[in-house]
Amino acid sequence: MVSPAIALAFLPLLLTLLIRYRHYLRLLYRAVLAAWLRDRLTGVPREHRAFQYLLAHAVPGDPRHVLSTLDRWSYGCEHLPSVGPVKGRIVSRLLAERAPRRVLELGTHCGYGAVLLAAGLPPGARLCTVEGNPQLASVAQKVIRLAGFDERTVEVIVGPSEEVIPRLRERHGLAATDFVFMDHGKRCYLRDLRLLESHRLLAPGATVVADNVLFPGAPRFLQYAKSCGRYRCRVHRASLEYFPAIPDGLAELRYTGDG
C-alpha cells in the first residue's frame, strides 16, 4: 500500500500532468468514453444520432446548412472526427483554386468531407468517396443525399481503400484524379498514396490533401511526401476539429510526377 507521504509527494506531478494534458483528456472523454457510453445507453450508434439531429435541424438541399448543423452537433453534443469548419475552409479554398474535375475522398465517415467537397465542385465534376465501414457508408449516403447531391455527383464506394483503389479505373471509371482528400486511418495514408502512384491514378499536377497529419499524426506519410521527389509539400497548421487548443494540420501535396 502506498503511504500518504509518498502519495502527497506525487500530487504536484499529477496536477501538472492533468493541467498540461487537460485538452487531450477532454478529447478522450468526449470522443471515446462519452460516445461509448451513449452507444450503450441508447442502442443507437453515434453517427446515427448525428443523422437524427440533422433530420431535425438541417435544411434539406442546403449543403452549407447541413455542414453548419453537423458543426453545431460536434461542438455542443458529441465529437465527430471529420475535418471540421476551420480546416474545412482551407480544403474549400484549395478546391476552389484547383477547380478539379475528378475528386477522390478516402474516409467518408459520416459524409461531412463529402458534402464539403461536393459543395465546392465545379459544374459537371464528380466525387468518388471510399468508406470501409458499411454502417458508416450507409449514414454518409443519407447525409450526402440530404445535402442535395445525387449519385451522378457523389458516388459512395464501400470497401477497404487498399482493395478499392486498384479497381477505381475499371469498376468506377476514375481514370485519374485531380484532387484527393484523405481522412481515413492515418496509418493508411502512406500505403494508399503509394497505391495511387503505382496505379497511375494521380493526374499531372494533382493535389493531395491529408487531414490530421500533426494530430494524431502521419509522420511516415509526411516524411515520404517531403523526400520522395514527387511532390511539393506544405503543411497548413491549424487545430484539431472542434478542439481549438489541440494543434493539428493539413498536408497539401502537389504531384509533380516521377521527378
Q: Can you give the binding site for Ca ion, defined by CB under 5 A?
A: 183, 211-212
> Which DSSP symbol is given to 121?
P
Told to judge if 133 belongs to the known catalytic residues of this protein, a careful annotator would answer no
Which residue has the CB atom at the shortest distance from Ca ion?
Answer: 211
Q: How far is the CB of 109 from Ca ion (least distance, A)?
A: 8
Closer CB to Ca ion, 47 or 183, in the complex? 183
Closer CB to Ca ion, 186 or 230, in the complex? 186
* Catalytic member of 183, 192, 248, 252: 183
Q: How far apart are CA 209 and CA 181, in angstroms?
A: 5
Bridge partner list, 131: 158
Q: How far apart are CA 48 and CA 139, in angstroms?
A: 7
Q: How far is the CB of 91 from Ca ion (least distance, A)?
A: 11
Told to judge if 212 belongs to the known catalytic residues of this protein, a careful annotator would answer yes
Give the chain's length: 259
Q: How far apart are CA 225 and CA 223, in angstroms?
A: 6
Q: Which residues in 164-188 are b (16+ Cβ under 10 Å) and which e?
A: bbeebeeeeebebbbbbbbbbbbeb
Closer CB to Ca ion, 109 or 126, in the complex? 109
* Catalytic member of 47, 71, 131, 211: 211
Q: How far is the CB of 212 from Ca ion (least distance, A)?
A: 5
User: What's the grid cell of residue 200?
Assistant: 497511375
Q: How far is the CB of 35 from Ca ion (least distance, A)?
A: 15
Q: Catalytic residue positions?
A: 183, 186, 211-212, 241
